[in-house]
């Protein structure tokens, strides 16, 4: 049967019937209960030697509702259900993916290099919180200049709202966002606009409510490992083969049946596998196979910063593509806010950190990390810049501010604009969090519609987590932080897209749009090769990055960034500031442009040295100096020599 099915488990419609297959090795009798359709009733499935049960039911078809009964127990949803119209506790629905009419036959997919990622939570991206509403906003994202949408998890979870990291039906798109075909329309429309779509999947644990896998068999879970969110999955213990097959099928399913362009893997440090062939490597292989020639990529959240995840398999790695770079975020937030506490305490937000991040990605590659009282990271100097996904906001970090405030509200406008320039022009892969591009006034909180007993635990646990920040470590903070289970907490987190056309918000949108255009159009910024950028510290809060674009130095670009006060360099003994032969430097872009809400920017290179504007960033390009200008420099030099002779004369009189 395996060769005739799209997936090893689940319900699949065929001509005149539907085929059902489920793994329940601890049970002797499995019945599929069809609750609607021509074949409604109970149908006994045949047991296979490995503990799977299967059977073809004549008359069953797409749209029929069904559940399984194990050894006469209560009806249960299908662990591999493609849709749960009434949520995880209700019946599953037979879905035929072939019923959808795709229009993206010419879509070639996307690799990670060259992309700009946009993290999007369907439930809060629009007021309606649906696939249909999100689809209407896609032209706006294309206009902005992002190239890939990263969907915060959409696997079905209980309740009316949630982040999605407590998913329990891993093959079923969340019922509150719309039908599975609505998700397909979203992806199809995105591809038509040149936008890729990837999905954040959670393979390290399942949510605390609505999870029925253990009722089919406890073998889905490991007794050897534990995660901070619940039981770990069994990828290397007894009976782990079907578990691995289940998760590998899921990875390929999103690529095959929804035409997604890749995955983001949540907290891979909690995906435990001591086998000879790590499940992460197999996930990458399955994603590429399911794409059938389309380009794809897989990025990872990995707190210990293990570089081997993205190294090629022939060099001992797992062959995946990218890594979230928390180091960049932590340094950025310290520079923006001046606060260095909790997990920010090992970062100073200084110029050298940003230079090193631009050149080498991770800042911690095996050094001691005092916050954890141990070494953190592994050597990653051989990785390419595009393999590091940089961000100054994401779902976790905005919510972790306690107030849910975004970084523009925690910093000055000038520093926020300068940091935006650094993020969007640095050689890593930049990621924006929804609403960041127009400085949304909507906060983003942690929200989860759990039942009362779990909701109370979550609220207490949230306050305990935030207590690592000194400013939030006080009695009563649990009552100050918005209640995750309160529908108002969810509603307040929704974007108001009308803002992006107004005043300050419109100026911030123009800032992002212009920077992304510059990143695309200028070869120096589009170049993401190793050693394509170097940098130098200019002052306590100021630095430069020099971008190289080939052998002709006239194609080089300078990015000057200053998070502190104005800086005047009368002498500049730094070779990266030296222009190409016969050239000077001309400012071609400034974060202080009035279009962005700034106050205007004077030239950075002047006859009396360099003047680096405070709380600002500027892009400089070489400009040929005409002969008369070279004479001006000669005369200026003579004037300086005359002034200094006069000063020496006065001192000796």
Spatial CB neighbours of 170, under 8 Å, sequence gap ≥ 6: 80, 155, 201, 247, 250
Report how far residue 326's alpha carbon sits from residue 304's, in angstroms, rounded to the nearest whole number.
10
CA angle 549, 552, 555 (to 5 degrees): 50
The answer to whether 28 and 47 are in contact (CB under 8 A) is: yes
Cα-flanking dihedrals φ and ψ of residue 46, to 5°?
-90, 135
3-state secondary structure of 532: coil
Concatenating the DSSP letter of every residue in 144-197 gives HT--EEEE---EE-SSS-B-STT--EEEEE-GGG--HHHHHHHHHHHHHTT-EE
Q: How far apart are CA 11 and CA 1, in angstroms?
A: 13
DSSP state of 2: G
Q: Which residue has the tokens 């890939």?
A: 148
Cβ contacts of residue 274 below 8 Å, gap of 6+?
236
Residue 556: which of 527, 530, 513 has the closest Cα?
527
Active site amino acids: 266, 301
Parallel, antiparallel or unpaired: strands 30-34 and 17-23: unpaired
CB–CB of 192/103 below 8 Å? yes
Considering only CA atoms, give the Rg of the chain. 28
- Within 10 A of 369 (CB to CB), how many other CB atoms are there? 18
H runs (alpha helix) in 467-544: 477-480, 487-492, 503-521, 523-526
Strands of the sheet containing 10-14, edge to edge, are 10-14, 17-23, 52-58, 46-47
Cα-Cα end-to-end distance for the chain: 104
- DSSP code at position 483: P
Angstrom distance (rounded) from CA 499 to CA 503:
8
Region of 431 please: left (phi>0), alpha (psi -120 to 50) or beta.
Answer: beta
How far is Cα 355 from Cα 331, in angstroms, rounded to an integer? 11
Structure tokens at 151: 């969907």
- Torsion, Cα 86 92 97 101, to 10 degrees, reads -30
DSSP-derived pairing of the beta strands 148-151 and 196-201: parallel
Q: What SS3 class is residue 332?
A: helix
Q: Which among 171, 123, 9 is positioned nearest to 1, based on CA atoms?
A: 9
């Amino acid at each position: 049967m395996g060769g005739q099915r799209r997936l090893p488990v689940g319900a699949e419609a065929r001509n005149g019937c539907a085929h059902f297959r489920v793994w329940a090795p601890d049970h002797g009798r499995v019945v599929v209960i069809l609750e609607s359709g021509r074949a409604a009733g109970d149908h006994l499935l045949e047991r296979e030697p490995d503990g799977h049960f299967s059977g073809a039911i004549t008359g069953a078809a797409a749209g029929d509702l069904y559940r399984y009964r194990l050894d006469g127990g209560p009806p249960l949803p299908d662990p591999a259900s493609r849709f749960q119209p009434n949520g995880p506790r209700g019946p599953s629905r037979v879905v035929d993916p072939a019923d959808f009419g795709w229009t993206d036959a010419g879509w070639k997919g996307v690799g990670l290099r060259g992309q700009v990622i946009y993290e999007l939570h369907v439930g809060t991206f629009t007021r309606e919180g649906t696939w249909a509403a999100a689809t209407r906003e896609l032209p706006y994202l294309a206009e902005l200049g992002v190239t890939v949408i990263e969907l915060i998890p959409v696997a079905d979870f209980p309740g009316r709202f949630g982040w999605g990291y407590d998913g329990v039906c891993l093959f079923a798109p969340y019922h509150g966002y719309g039908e599975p075909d609505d998700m397909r329309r979203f992806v199809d429309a995105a591809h038509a606009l040149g936008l890729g779509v990837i999905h954040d999947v959670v393979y390290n644990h399942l949510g605390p409510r609505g999870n029925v896998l253990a009722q089919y068999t406890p073998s889905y879970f490991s007794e050897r490992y534990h995660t901070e969110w619940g039981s770990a999955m069994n990828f290397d213990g007894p009976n782990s083969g079907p578990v691995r097959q289940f998760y590998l099928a899921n990875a390929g399913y999103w690529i095959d049946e929804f035409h997604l362009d890749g995955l983001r893997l949540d907290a891979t440090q909690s995906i435990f596998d001591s086998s000879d062939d790590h499940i992460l490597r197999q996930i990458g292989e399955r994603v590429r196979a399911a794409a059938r020639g389309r380009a794809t990529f897989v990025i990872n959240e990995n707190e210990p910063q293990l570089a081997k995840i993205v190294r090629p398999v022939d060099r001992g790695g797992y062959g995946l593509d990218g890594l979230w770079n928390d180091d960049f975020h932590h340094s950025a937030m310290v520079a923006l806010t001046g606060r260095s506490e909790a997990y920010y305490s090992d970062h100073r937000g200084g110029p050298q950190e940003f230079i090193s991040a631009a050149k080498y990605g991770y800042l911690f590659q095996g050094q001691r990390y005092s916050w954890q009282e141990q070494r953190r990271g592994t050597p990653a100097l051989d990785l390419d810049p595009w393999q590091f996904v940089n961000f100054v906001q994401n779902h976790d970090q905005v919510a972790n501010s306690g107030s849910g405030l975004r970084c523009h509200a925690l910093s000055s406008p000038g520093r926020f604009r300068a940091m935006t320039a650094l993020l969007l022009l640095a050689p890593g892969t930049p990621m924006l969090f929804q609403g960041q591009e127009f400085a949304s006034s909507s906060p983003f909180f942690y929200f989860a519609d759990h039942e009362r007993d779990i909701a109370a635990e979550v609220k207490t646990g949230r306050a305990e987590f935030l207590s690592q920040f000194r400013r939030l470590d006080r009695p009563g903070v649990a009552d100050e932080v918005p209640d995750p289970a309160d529908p108002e907490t969810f509603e307040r987190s929704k974007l108001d897209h009308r803002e992006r056309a107004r005043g300050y918000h419109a100026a911030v949108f123009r800032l992002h749009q212009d920077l992304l255009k510059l990143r695309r159009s200028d070869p120096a910024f589009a170049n993401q090769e190793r050693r394509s950028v170097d940098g130098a510290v200019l002052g306590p809060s100021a630095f430069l990055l020099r971008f190289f674009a080939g052998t002709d130095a006239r194609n080089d670009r300078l990015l000057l960034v200053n998070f502190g006060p104005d800086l005047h360099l009368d002498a500049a003994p730094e070779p990266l500031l030296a222009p190409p032969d016969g050239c000077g430097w001309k400012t071609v872009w400034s974060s202080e442009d009035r279009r962005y809400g700034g106050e205007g920017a004077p030239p950075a290179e002047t006859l009396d040295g360099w003047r680096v504007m405070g709380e600002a960033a500027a892009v400089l390009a070489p400009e040929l100096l005409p002969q008369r200008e070279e004479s001006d420099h000669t005369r200026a030099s003579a004037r300086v020599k005359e002034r200094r002779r006069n000063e020496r004369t006065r001192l000796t009189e």
